[in-house]
Amino acid sequence: MPGKILIVEDESLIALHLKTQLEQAGVVVVGVAENADDALTLAARHLPDLVLMDIHIRGGRDGISCATELRVSHGIPAMFITAYADRETLERAKISQPPGYIYKPFLGANLAPQIEMALQ
């Protein structure tokens, strides 16, 4: 599964778990951000193929607004990894045209195929 991925997750243990799983699958993780400002800076610097984005992140902006800006500014898609499955959040998330929406907790075996499909 080739590709460069940026992780946006404010829970350090989850971010480390994601990073480890992705690197074991052969993916280059270009960075980990815990807020929208850092995510946008890293994305502009590294131009990842995909961003794995938590919806509720630190700072004044959430992952949905960050994902929308990444798509508009850089053409970078963001796949959501979130614990929020309510209809309102899902509808808001659709605005950013995500290639996927993964619910936490997730299994590593389920993550890899979804990311591979999103990278296509």
Instruction: Give this prediction's pTM.
Output: 0.90
How far apart CA 120 and CA 51 sit, in angstroms, is 14
Residue 114 token pair: 């979804």
Residues 6+ apart with CB under 8 A from 20: none
Q: Do the beta carbons of residue 104 and residue 14 sit within 8 Å?
A: yes
The answer to whether residue 33 scores a pLDDT higher than 60 is yes
Residues 6+ apart with CB under 8 A from 83: 56, 103, 104
The answer to whether residue 91 scores a pLDDT higher than 70 is yes
